[in-house]
């Protein structure tokens, strides 16, 4: 306890130096905490769904690029003909124009989802129900939507009678059938999908835009859930064979792409356990608590360097520095020892020369 008191008195003798040291530590710890929080949210935290390790993000690549999006026809073939996934889901993020009653609001984050989207993810509704396959059978047949928990609280003040209310999306009336759990934000990093509607309702929610089910555009992101006991390698081999058959059919049809370009296509699998898809998967394995400890250690080293530069002329410090000058020790150890003053908090637990005690040096 006496050593702590002594260290505290030394800090009070140099208020300017103490303020700089405390500020350096505060900035270092604060920055380290902020960076870790961001990395944890983007790279380390798994999707809030059932068994996220079983989810696989599907991509396709050729000699030029790797692409995540697929057309609707490819999604249907994967969903109906694959033998390696229990099911395959599809979704397409977009902005929706919303009006509740007579109160329009700026475009909100929304998404088109396949009828099996929530069942594949294992996400149940907090209120009401989710979108089901029967809602996604035919274009314009089921004007229903599911809203996020945050949007429910923000826009409807958590109204317990939310199920059955209607909202206007692109001028068309949609009935709210459910609210997702508070922890579920969707599958896109940095955004919360406030409103989800069936894929088959695309044209109704966005007038003047051709439905993704008919356009053939590459806009849908696909994910599959591995069957029990199936490995990523086995699934890739099985679905890869199916995709090669599909590509061969596409290559035989006249179009803008050459046959050689089509035949370069190959299927790519990525773990979808983390929300940022391939980017997160590539970095998550490299992120370690050691990296954050190293950053904090660097800040502490800066503070120790400041202490070493402080003008300390007490008897103990002079004895230590004099002794270091008279002995031969490796350069790294010498630099570390010279930067640590015995009067600093870093040495407050060390033995100090006192009457009746043996000096530690």
Q: Which residues contact 145 (CB under 8 A, 6 or more apart)?
A: 131, 167, 169, 174, 175, 176, 177, 195, 196, 197
Tell me, what's the pLDDT at 43? 54
d(CA 43, CA 279): 8
Confidence of residue 208 (pLDDT cuts 50, 70, 90): confident
Tell me, what's the pLDDT at 36? 59
Burial label, 213 (beta-carbon count in 10 A; 0-12, 13-18, 19+)? buried
Name the pairing type of β-strands 103-113 and 195-198. parallel
Q: Residues 292, 297, 299, CA angle at the centre, nearest 5°? A: 100
Question: Does residue 82 contact residue 237 with C-beta atoms inside 8 Å?
Answer: no
Q: Which of 37-46, 104-113, 257-266, 269-278 has the highest mean pLDDT?
A: 104-113
pLDDT average, residue stretch 24-42: 69
Burial label, 117 (beta-carbon count in 10 A; 0-12, 13-18, 19+)? buried
Q: Which of 8-12, 98-102, 127-131 has the highest mean pLDDT?
A: 127-131
Query: Higher confidence at residue 351 or residue 67?
Result: 67
Verdict on whether the full-model pTM lies above 0.75: no
d(CA 156, CA 321): 69
Domain residue ranges in the chain: 2-42+289-347, 52-273
Q: Quick one: angle between helices 331-339 and 315-326, nearest 10?
A: 170
Name the pairing type of β-strands 172-179 and 144-147. parallel
Confidence of residue 320 (pLDDT cuts 50, 70, 90): low
Nearest to 88 by CA among 227, 218, 275, 197: 227
pLDDT in tens, 130-181: 999 999 999 999 999 999 999 999 999 999 999 999 999 988 999 999 999 9
Residue ranges of E strands in 35-161? 55-61, 66-67, 69-70, 85-100, 103-113, 127-128, 144-147
pLDDT in tens, 73-106: 999 999 999 999 999 999 999 999 999 887 888 8
Residue 354: pLDDT over 50: no
Tell me, what's the pLDDT at 279? 40
Confidence of residue 64 (pLDDT cuts 50, 70, 90): confident
Q: Which residues contact 221 (CB under 8 A, 6 or more apart)?
A: 57, 68, 69, 70, 90, 91, 92, 187
Least confidently predicted of 105-114, 190-199, 217-226, 308-317: 308-317
């Amino acid at each position: 306890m006496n050593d702590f008191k002594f260290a505290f008195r030394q800090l009070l003798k140099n208020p300017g130096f103490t303020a700089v040291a405390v500020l350096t530590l505060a900035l270092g710890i604060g920055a380290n905490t902020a960076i870790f929080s961001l990395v944890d949210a983007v790279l380390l935290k798994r999707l809030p769904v059932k068994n996220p390790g079983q989810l696989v993000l599907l991509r396709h690549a050729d000699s030029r690029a790797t692409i995540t999006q697929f057309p609707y026809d490819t999604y249907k073939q994967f969903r109906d003909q694959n033998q390696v996934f229990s099911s395959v889901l599809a979704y397409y993020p977009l902005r929706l124009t919303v009006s509740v009653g007579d109160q329009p609001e700026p475009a909100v984050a929304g998404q088109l989802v396949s009828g099996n989207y929530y069942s594949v993810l294992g996400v149940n509704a907090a209120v009401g129900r989710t979108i089901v396959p029967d809602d996604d059978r035919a274009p314009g047949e089921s004007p229903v939507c599911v809203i996020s928990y945050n949007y429910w609280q923000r826009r409807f003040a958590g109204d317990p009678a939310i199920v059955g209310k209607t909202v206007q999306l692109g001028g068309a009336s949609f009935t709210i059938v459910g609210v997702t759990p508070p922890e579920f934000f969707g599958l896109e990093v940095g955004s919360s999908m406030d409103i989800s509607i069936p894929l088959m309702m695309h044209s109704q929610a966005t007038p003047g835009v051709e439905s993704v089910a008919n356009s053939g555009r590459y806009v849908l992101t696909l994910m599959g859930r591995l069957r029990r006991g199936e490995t990523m390698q086995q699934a890739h081999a099985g679905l890869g064979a199916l995709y090669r058959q599909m590509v061969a059919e596409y290559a035989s049809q006249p179009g803008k792409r050459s046959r050689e370009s089509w035949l370069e296509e190959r299927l790519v699998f990525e773990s979808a356990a983390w929300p940022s898809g391939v980017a997160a998967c590539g970095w998550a394995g490299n992120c370690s608590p050691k990296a954050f400890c190293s950053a904090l250690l660097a800040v502490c080293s800066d503070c120790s360097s400041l202490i070493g530069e402080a003008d300390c002329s007490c008897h103990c410090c002079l004895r230590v520095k004099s002794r270091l000058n008279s002995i031969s020790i490796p350069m790294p150890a010498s630099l570390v020892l010279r930067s640590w003053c015995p009067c600093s908090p870093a040495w407050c637990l060390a033995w100090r020369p006192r009457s009746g005690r043996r000096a530690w040096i």
